[in-house]
């Protein structure tokens, strides 16, 4: 593959460049794979994106390497920021006033998952320096995967809303605590005071940038039509600018975008109606984000000897989420079956976990490398298995539409290729 790329670079014109050709072909393949997988198998498109990214990573096709940096890290953060902004826009703070137990359910799910992961690693004699960062990675649930799955299978209802809400709150904890942990990781006790400034900067910059972004978008909605394509361009441009500035000022761009969505929904409670152009542009960035996540995870140095540990962590994570959500679901107004299907849909891991591991590698390379050897194979596996589990859970909850492949077969008399 490297020899082939070198040959290509000799005749591709400088105006285009080899990376542009590579990423264009990769994005086209991912879009086609996602479409075909949904059309003929009735599965969510995100599985096709992840498969193409993983194959590209294993083959060494693209120029992205682990750990993420430069334009690759920016694109992952931008795609995640867009998805988290949308997820934050679905959070209604008034809901927590009427149903405060939902917040308790979210905290119980996160704490139970963290404790279960810590206990499993203690049983496997994992180095104590790795237990805390790895446990926090295991807490992370991907709102991006859940929202794409819900969109692809046309899921809607109380379980879907609850899953997205819990995943958004889960991400809020992980991004805030993970950024702090990354800056404290590997520091000696006498040097912990030196990390006070970057930790404070992380939190303050993220909150301020989120508030500024929400305020700017609120003013835009007051002056511009929500259905205008210019509003979509303005929104994407502001999120991109906020992603860049937040990272440069020492904050967390995804955390700022999530807070911006929550604040904008609070200040502008009316339903949002973004134009179709925004959905198309955001979809392209989302596809690229999933491809980059899978590619980076596949290119990492895998610790294949830790498969038994990873299997135990997956099982403990699933049991902890099911137990916490199931037990607390009684006080949130959900039935037992709704609580269990909600827990089943909370499996996916993706970009949030990847960025967290990338921060570990940035601030403490020695610990970050060992964390990545366990976390990244687990992440890639759970991105695929988690999406499948989310589909199953939402279908069993009765909130998913009929798969496209089945609808087409019934309407064409058993021939899925008929038009």
User: What is the full per-residue pLDDT of the chain (419 aa) written as tens digits?
Assistant: 556 555 555 555 555 556 677 788 888 999 999 999 999 988 899 999 999 999 988 887 766 677 777 788 888 899 899 999 988 888 877 777 778 888 999 999 999 999 999 999 999 999 989 999 999 999 999 999 999 999 888 888 889 999 999 999 999 999 999 988 888 887 665 555 566 777 788 889 999 999 999 999 888 888 887 777 788 888 889 999 988 899 888 889 999 999 999 998 888 766 565 555 556 667 888 888 999 888 888 876 665 667 889 899 999 999 999 999 988 887 887 888 889 999 999 999 989 999 999 999 888 888 988 998 889 889 999 999 999 999 999 999 988 865 544 445 454 454 544 43
Domain membership of residue 417 (yes or no) is no
Q: Give the separation between CA 250 and CA 200, rounded to whole angstroms.
A: 9
Structure token digits, residue 358 = 């990338």
Residue of 97, 98, 92, 84 lying closest to 269 (CA atoms): 92
Residue of 378, 351, 299, 243 lying closest to 64 (CA atoms): 299
Domain membership of residue 416 (yes or no) is no
- Within a 10 A sphere around the Cβ of 223, how many other Cβ atoms? 8
Domain membership of residue 375 (yes or no) is yes
Q: Give the separation between CA 79 and CA 273, rounded to whole angstroms.
A: 20
CA 224, 227, 228, 230 torsion-angle sign:
positive
Contact by Cβ (8 Å): 102, 91: no
- For residue 331, the enclosing domain spans 2-411
Domain membership of residue 11 (yes or no) is yes
Q: Tell me the CATH number at 135.
A: 1.20.1530.20
Structure token digits, residue 374 = 């366990």
Distance of CA 305 to the CA centre of its chain: 27
Number of domains making up the chain:
1
Domain membership of residue 370 (yes or no) is yes
Domain membership of residue 418 (yes or no) is no
Domain membership of residue 105 (yes or no) is yes
């Amino acid at each position: 593959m490297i020899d082939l790329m070198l040959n290509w670079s000799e005749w591709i014109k400088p105006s285009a460049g080899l990376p542009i050709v590579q990423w264009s072909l990769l994005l086209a393949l991912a879009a086609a794979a996602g479409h075909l997988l949904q059309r003929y198998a009735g599965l969510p498109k995100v599985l096709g994106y992840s498969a193409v990214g993983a194959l590209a990573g294993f083959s060494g096709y693209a120029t992205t390497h682990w750990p993420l940096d430069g334009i690759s890290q920016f694109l992952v953060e931008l795609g995640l920021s867009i998805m988290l902004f949308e997820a934050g826009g679905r959070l209604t703070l008034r809901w927590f006033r009427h149903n405060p137990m939902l917040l308790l359910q979210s905290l119980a799910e996160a704490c139970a998952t963290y404790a279960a992961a810590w206990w499993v690693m203690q049983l496997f004699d994992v180095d104590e320096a790795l237990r805390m960062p790895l446990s926090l990675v295991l807490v992370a649930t991907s709102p991006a995967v859940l929202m794409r799955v819900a969109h692809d299978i046309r899921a809607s209802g109380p379980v879907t809303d609850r899953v997205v809400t819990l995943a958004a709150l889960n991400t809020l904890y992980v991004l805030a605590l993970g950024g702090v942990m990354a800056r404290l990781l590997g520091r000696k006790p006498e040097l912990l005071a030196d990390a006070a400034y970057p930790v404070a900067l992380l939190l303050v910059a993220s909150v301020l940038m989120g508030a500024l972004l929400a305020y700017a978008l609120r003013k835009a909605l007051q002056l511009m039509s929500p259905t205008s394509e210019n509003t979509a361009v303005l929104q994407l441009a502001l999120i991109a600018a906020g992603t860049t500035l937040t990272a440069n000022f020492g904050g967390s761009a995804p955390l700022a975008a999530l807070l911006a969505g929550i604040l904008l929904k609070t200040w502008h409670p009316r339903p949002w109606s973004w134009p179709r152009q925004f959905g198309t542009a955001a979809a392209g960035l989302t596809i690229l984000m999933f491809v980059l996540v899978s590619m980076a995870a596949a290119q990492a140095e895998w610790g294949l000897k830790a498969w038994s540990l990873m299997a135990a962590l997956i099982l403990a994570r699933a049991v902890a989420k099911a137990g916490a959500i199931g037990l607390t679901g009684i006080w949130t107004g959900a039935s037992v079956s709704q609580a269990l299907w909600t827990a089943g849909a909370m499996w996916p891991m993706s970009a949030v976990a990847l960025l967290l591991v990338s921060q570990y590698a940035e601030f403490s390379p020695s610990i970050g490398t060992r964390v990545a050897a366990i976390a990244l194979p687990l992440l890639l596996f759970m991105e695929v298995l988690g999406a499948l589990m989310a589909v199953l859970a939402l279908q069993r909850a009765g909130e998913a539409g009929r798969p496209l492949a089945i609808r087409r077969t019934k309407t064409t008399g058993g021939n899925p290729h008929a038009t």
